[in-house]
Structure 1
Amino acid sequence: MKKIVLSALAALTLGSVAANAGATKLYQDANGQVFTKSAEGRTLIKTPTSVFSKADKLKFSGLTYLGYTYNDYDSTLADGSINSNKDTSEFEIRRAYFQLKAYLLDDSKSYYRITFDISKDVTGDEKVRAKYAYLFLNNVFANTGVEIGLAHRPWHDYEEHNAWYFRNISKILIEDKAHGPDLSNSADFGVMFKTRTQYFDADYGLFNGEGYHSASNGNGMSFEWRTTAHLMGVDGKDKQTKKTYWDASFFGQYNQGHKSVTVGTVTEQQDLIFGGLHTVYNQPSFLVAAQYVYSKDTSDIANNVSKQSGDGYSVNAEYRLGEEKEYRCFARYDSWTPKTKTTYNGVSAEREDRGYLIGAAWEMNKNVQWVANAIITDNEAGSAKEINNGTAYMLTAEVRF
């Protein structure tokens, strides 16, 4: 920190010198130290300005979702009873990430990454935890690298960088709690292989299974995967506003022993298995995407409850305007039907949970995006999640560097 402060003071001093002496120039020696030299060759200032590390290169970045949300819940449920959820209004930091990559090996594409995540816990308190902490080794096999540690899970990162670009206001279907199945989160302890080719890529690995912000029970491993066919090939990064692509994916997990369930006097380890099909078509001016997900949680069957077993789908679309495609309109619809039946007005049936999302965004520049949107939750009468029904009005500033 002392070196950073000294560097900042030196920069201010250099700026003052430059403004008052046209002959003053800025130089850097072989050790990375910066100093000024007058026309006569006299050294005026010399001070270290580098952040020193044993890594060949360090790369810092940050991402924050700043927002305001007004939740207007339905005051009564379909049967006339009072909804226990009350309207809320609050400014919030939805997520804040700070990331460091350290390039340690001769291969410039291999690195160590650690990402810290600030988010609310179930009590409403802000917590800081590690979301990613892994070593990535490039090309351990042909066209295949590997993440080792607290790593990405196969599906989430793909969908958020190819089909659903508004993580700042809503998670993807398999993570959704209000009207979705809440099957999985985006990082876990384990090892993941990443295969990349022009027309096909895949992520697949073995994980603890509980995710990065849940305690591991150590009772079984989770095998997880994503395979994607790039039907029109791939062509570098920034595909959203500059490329045309069409992808089709199959993804899922087989999570063994993810939950302990006691039935009578017998305690058993139960499994969570889910799979999904997804497709997305993108041109610089628009995007359309759709997916179908099926899941089976054996603990639901053992307990005769309605939580993570079921099936559902999600569709989303985006239209982009402006010279740089900086103005965007988007919409999304989610549907999830838990497999366990619930009773309403004497009728026992599977009750659908639904969510509608509509909004607009302005890409102010490469560092700041503004979003205004509404999310309507319309879970079917008698659903276990009917209390979430209502409309959330949101304003968001996404800041990244």
Structure 2
Amino acid sequence: MKKVALSALAAAMMSGAVYAETLTLYTDAKTGQVFTTAGEGRVEMGDFVDAKSVDMSQRESESSFSEYKDAMKKYVNVKSHAKTLDFSGTHYFGLSSNTYGANNAKGNDTSRGFEFRRNYLQAKAFFTDKDYFRVTMDTTDELESSTGNANMYVKYAYLYLDKVLPYTGVEIGVAHRPWIDYEEHNSWYYRSINKVIMEDKFSVNPTTGASLAVDTMNSADMGVNFQTKTPYFSSELGIFDGEGYHPATNQKLSTGLSEEWRLTAHLMGNGEKVGKYKLDKDTYANISFAGIMSQDEKYDGSTQTDSQTYDKNAYWFHAVYSQPEFLIAAQYDVTKYEYATANANDRKLKTWSVNGEIRPAQDWTVLARYDSVKTEYTNSLGAATNANNTNDGTQIIYGVAYDYNKNVKFIASGKTVNAKQSTAALALSTDTGATVGDMIDKQSWMLTTEVNW
């Protein structure tokens, strides 16, 4: 009888079922007899179920497994040599209205419409817990785009190997350049409405092509980038082609490379979290020095000639402080362009930027930013060019952001660009009173939906 009861118990345990009605059995230590009630000299054996209940449980388990197999037929098997596959996306969709200064006899030039400012689709194939290969596709369709259609680029395509040196990993391929990603994930969190100043084109008039820009660098390029993280210090040191991840030109007739770096002190000792701060919880204070030494770069679309080839050297200082209630950041940048032969575009850009945000209530943020660029032309025509304030100007960005949930954010924002250039633009306008500066002046209003998954 004991063997039968124990077999029933084992079957019940294997079925994974729990029953409300059970039977407690006892045995006499001397005679071995089994009883259903407690008594003197009787030892409890445990709770048991009858064989009929066990049989019903097994049938229910078989039925559930059959239903599971039927449900799995709806899915497609994914095969990979990677240990784990990770998919994600980032999307910036918005409605923009831009009004430019007078550039013809009809008055102002206005553009209005919906735009896909960014559409990132990303896949990571992990070979170990930390080593992986990443591919990110980037699609953009903006009102000020020169092509007028959505372009798709490989934004990132690199192998990441963790701890190839103490505290240091490396990206190999179309990798992060040291600066842009750092600033976008530590001090300016609103790439969906405007680029950071080092990558920014303040204004590009879609009708005339007149522009005001800093545009020193973009965020990715072909090369290698070593990334170090410790509590009080982090850095990125990279070597790249220099033209960026979607240039119209290539390295076919070029030998120059770009050495780039970022060195950051983390005063609060949380440098290992750089790029992964939680704004509603973390407090951090970071000071950075970064730069570029790039040789033999070319204008997009130009042929490889001395008159179109330049060296670009830049350095900048940046500081940010953030706590759950607010954030404040500032930077000063100097970028110098020197052409291989005498060229009217030899110049030095001095730019500075201040941005901040206040978080008055949960999920709400008020943001603002002020940028300024001053360009000094150093060629033989520099005196006249500088007198006309060519490529000088300011912009103010302001807005309110609402975190709908952890995946979706809504932003209402505006931007005011004031170009200082004063040269009369007779060749570009039938209105003799218009100037290049008037054409570039811009007032923008934007409604933005930001999605991350």
Q: TM-score range by the shorter chain?
A: 0.7 to 0.9
- Which of 255, 259, 267 is the aligned partner of 1:223? 259
- Which of 221, 224, 227 is the aligned partner of 1:191? 224
Distance 2:127 2:395 in 1: 45
* Residue 87 (structure 2) aligns with: 60
* Residue 3 (structure 1) aligns with: none
Question: Which AA in structure 2 matches 1:109?
Answer: K
Distance 2:83 2:154 in 1: 23
**CA 1:400/1:299 → structure 2, altered by over 3 Å: closer, same or farther?**
same
* Residue 444 (structure 2) aligns with: 392
Distance 1:89 1:200 in 2: 45
Q: How does 1:97-108 map to 2 (within 5 A)?
A: 97-105=120-128, 108=129
TM-score (norm 1): 0.82
Distance 1:300 1:309 in 2: 15
* Residue 332 (structure 1) aligns with: 369
Which secondary structure does the structure 1 equivalent of 2:280 belong to? helix
Gaps of 5+ in 2: 1-16, 18-57, 203-211, 424-435
Q: 1:321: Cα distance to partner?
A: 2.5
Question: Which AA in structure 2 matches 1:115?
Answer: T
Distance 2:450 2:98 in 1: 20
* Residue 412 (structure 2) aligns with: 372
* Residue 162 (structure 1) aligns with: 186
**CA 1:82/1:379 → structure 2, altered by over 3 Å: closer, same or farther?**
farther
**CA 1:390/1:268 → structure 2, altered by over 3 Å: closer, same or farther?**
closer
Contact 2:262–2:289 (8 Å) recurs in 1: yes
**CA 1:313/1:301 → structure 2, altered by over 3 Å: closer, same or farther?**
farther
Contact 1:259–1:299 (8 Å) recurs in 2: no
Q: Aligned residues: percent identity?
A: 39
Q: Deviations over 1:270-310 (max 9, x none)?
A: 2011110000010111000000000110029831237x631
Higher Rg: 2
Q: How does 1:1-400 map to 2 (within 5 A)?
A: 39=60, 41-42=62-63, 43-45=65-67, 46=69, 47=72, 49=75, 50-75=77-102, 86-105=109-128, 108-120=129-141, 122-178=146-202, 179-214=212-247, 215-217=249-251, 218-234=254-270, 236=273, 237-259=276-298, 269-299=309-339, 302-305=342-345, 309-322=348-361, 325-340=362-377, 341=382, 343=384, 347=387, 352-382=392-422, 386-400=438-452
Distance 2:105 2:194 in 1: 27
Contact 2:267–2:285 (8 Å) recurs in 1: yes
Question: Which AA in structure 1 matches 2:62?
Answer: G
Which secondary structure does the structure 2 equivalent of 1:303 belong to? coil
**Corresponding residue pairs, total:** 354
Q: Deviations over 1:95-133 (max 9, x none)?
A: 10000011013xx11111000000135211101111000
Contact 2:102–2:438 (8 Å) recurs in 1: no
Contact 2:213–2:391 (8 Å) recurs in 1: no
More strand per residue: 1 or 2?
Answer: 1
Query: Cα RMSD (Å) of the superposition?
Result: 2.7
Q: 1:242: Cα distance to partner?
A: 1.2
**CA 1:347/1:97 → structure 2, altered by over 3 Å: closer, same or farther?**
closer
Contact 1:73–1:86 (8 Å) recurs in 2: yes
In terms of mean alpha carbon deviation, does 64-73 or 122-131 score higher? 122-131
Question: Which AA in structure 1 matches 2:250?
Answer: S
Contact 1:342–1:351 (8 Å) recurs in 2: no
Which secondary structure does the structure 1 equivalent of 2:342 belong to? helix
**CA 1:201/1:38 → structure 2, altered by over 3 Å: closer, same or farther?**
farther
Contact 2:186–2:277 (8 Å) recurs in 1: no
* Residue 19 (structure 1) aligns with: none
Contact 2:118–2:140 (8 Å) recurs in 1: yes
Which secondary structure does the structure 1 equivalent of 2:181 belong to? helix
**CA 1:359/1:349 → structure 2, altered by over 3 Å: closer, same or farther?**
closer
